[in-house]
Amino acid sequence: MKRNLLNLTRNTYDLLIIGGGIYGACIAWEASLRGLSVALVEKGDFASATSANSLKTIHGGLRYLQNADFRRMRESIRERRTLLRIAPHLIHPLPVLIPTYGHGMKGKEALSLALAVNDMISCDRNQLDDPQKHIPNGRVISAQDCQQLLPGIPHQGLTGGALFYDAQVYNSERLPLSFLQSAAQVGADVANYVEGVDFLKEGNRITGIKAKDILTGDHLDIRAKTVINTSGPWMNQVLGWLQGESPSVNVPLAKAVNLVTRPLFQTYAVGISSTNSYRDPNAIVNKGSRFLFIAPWRGKSIIGTSYTIWDEKPDDLQVTTADIQDLLDQINQAYPPANLTPEDVDFVHGGLLPRTGVDSHTGEPLLEKQYHIHDHAREGLPGLLSIIGVKYTTARDVAEKAVDQLFKSWGQQPPQSVSDITPIYGGEIERFDTFLQTALTNSPNGLTEEIMRRLVYNYGSAYPDILESLEGNLHQQQAPVDELAILKAEVIHAVREEMAQTLSDVIFRRTELGSAGVPEPHILKYCAETMATELGWSLTRIEQEIQAVKEVNQHRFLNVV
């Protein structure tokens, strides 16, 4: 995958995508797979905004039962199965345990019924050849078993627990990247750090965009038959280029915050009810409180999610100490043994989601629940579609529907979609456990099992590409040398084949180094010096890049209310 801006200016594409998050990446793959010529540009790095700031959970939609929204449940179940199939190295089953209290909506009986209905609705969830990807039936357990699995869980009123399985993405940044790599392999031209600044028009038809190369300051025109806007929180900003010609689309936003902390639970993801009141106006049955989720992550816990109104510009997004303390308070109130303090927070995730309004009782944002595919031809502006996505899990399905609509807007019958059965980059794996064991058995001399596991989980069937970048130091037996050798290979591969332009790209989005906190200074320095050799950085640039990485998570210390 090469960054070739000359190609972007030379061609007129069938489709140009604005935005390189999970939705843009999935549309690029879907459209390329169906034979369209595709370009995609992203103003920052790929998957560097909302797509990177998730709970890492691939949801099967159990929570939609309270809305009796069986259509969305089926959609989520199907897409979870699809991701387990096409990205087997990145998506893995995750056990989830919910303590049950009393005999009402949060009791054992109600959740037992919910699990039974969920299993019935997802009866085809295990139509996969790989048994490692199968989702077991849900079941309820006794109060004693729940206390053994979750030591310290409050026992007053505890009646048991509801145990079910969902899925977790091992590296949420590499999944969009893998979709983009797949698209590039079949001909798509993709580029990061290219910011759109205006639309190109012929009459009232949108024919492309005017763009700026953030790295050089150069300006370029990119032309296409149709433009799809998947800019997420920047949706309103992009549509602002129309100067009021598209008033029907306006997306208000909510700020979402997750925290990575010291580990609270080891094996199970745990769902607990916040003590803060919450009312879902669309729910048939209201539980009365927001659900908090604590999942194991890189030997730590990832906890979320808290939501607040955001009416400022997306570029000004900041997670404040007040945001962090509020979420810590919610966790500590719901699960007192946690006793989390700001010093326990290793990393902060902040992203922006679409909302529909504000709850008049609580002041909390009401999140948008339905995706939208908006064809601006309805407003007399053919050649432009806007996608409002609401869920990481179902991005591929929305991409399929968007490309279907694209063909129909051209008066053509959409070709059959095969993206639900076609492995993406790194996903050529029939049985994950067998593949992993073979990789461990055949690992190069000197590489530890831990290193090989990390390579397989991040790169899947493409992990040999990393080994090819090694530069002859695997014969040395010292583990630190071997670890650094592999790290150097990953950095070189990220620069040469994955379009990494900054140290932050490598630390936070190409490797797993920064997924649970900023790495040690000597690791940052080693990676920066490796990139400097590849990209010709000066000593001053090396220091600037290292400082930029450190600042990514320093905002959690800001005393901003």
Q: What is the DSSP string of 325-380?
A: HHHHHHHHHH-GGG---GGGEEEEEEEEEEEEEE-TTT--EEE--S-EEEEGGGGT
% residues pLDDT > 70 (the chain): 93
398-417 average pLDDT score: 97
Is residue 252 within 8 Å of 311, Cβ to Cβ?
A: yes
Spell out the CATH class of 432-557.
Answer: mainly alpha
Q: What is the pLDDT of residue 288?
A: 52
Structure tokens given for 28 = 């690029």
pLDDT in tens, 201-235: 999 999 999 999 999 999 999 999 999 999 999 99
Single pTM value for the model: 0.94
Q: What is the mean pLDDT of residues 508-520?
A: 91
- The Cα–Cα gap between 210 and 9 comes to 10
> What pLDDT score does 247 carry?
64
Q: Topology of 86-169+252-367 in CATH?
A: D-Amino Acid Oxidase; Chain A, domain 2 (3.30.9)
The pLDDT value recorded for residue 246 is 62
Is the pLDDT confidence value at 497 over 60?
yes
Q: From start to end of 170-239, where are the E strands?
A: 189-192, 194-202, 205-213, 219-229
pLDDT digit string, tens, across residues 121-140? 999 999 999 999 999 999 99
Q: What b/e readout covers 42-78, taking b as 16+ CB neighbours within 10 angstroms? A: bbbbbbbbbbbbbbbbbbbbbbbbbeebeebbbbbbb
The whole-chain average pLDDT of the chain stands at: 91
Q: What is the pLDDT of residue 477?
A: 44
Asked whether the CA dihedral 124, 128, 131, 134 is positive or negative, the reply is negative
Calpha distance 44→465 (Å, rounded): 25
Q: pLDDT category, 276, cuts 50, 70, 90?
A: low
Least confidently predicted of 219-223, 305-309, 430-434: 305-309
- The more confidently predicted of residues 263 and 482 is 263
Reported as a pLDDT band with limits 50, 70 and 90, residue 469 is: confident
pLDDT of residue 556: 42
The predicted pLDDT at position 44 comes to 96
pLDDT at 485: 87
Q: What are the tokens at 38?
A: 């595709």
Closest CA to 41 of 313, 224, 178, 275: 224
pLDDT band for position 360 (cuts 50, 70, 90):
confident
What is the model's pLDDT at position 559? 34
Confidence of residue 479 (pLDDT cuts 50, 70, 90): very low
What's residue 94's pLDDT?
Answer: 97
Mean pLDDT along residues 71-94:
97
Evaluate if residue 77 carries a pLDDT over 90: yes
pLDDT at 386 over 50: yes
d(CA 316, CA 319): 10
Distance CA 522, CA 540 (A): 17
pLDDT at 225 (0 to 100) = 98
Task: For residue 248, give both structure tokens.
Answer: 């029907």
- Rounded to whole angstroms, the maximal C-alpha distance in the chain is 71
pLDDT band of residue 63 (cuts 50, 70, 90) is confident
In angstroms, the Cα distances linking 153 to 11, 101, 112, 435 are 60, 11, 20, 38
Whether residue 286 is predicted with pLDDT greater than 70 in this model: the reply is: no
- For the chain, which residues make up each domain, given as ranges? 5-50+173-249+372-409, 86-169+252-367, 432-557
Mean pLDDT of 357-377: 91
- Domain boundaries 5-50+173-249+372-409, CATH class: alpha beta
> What mean pLDDT comes out for the span 60-85?
92
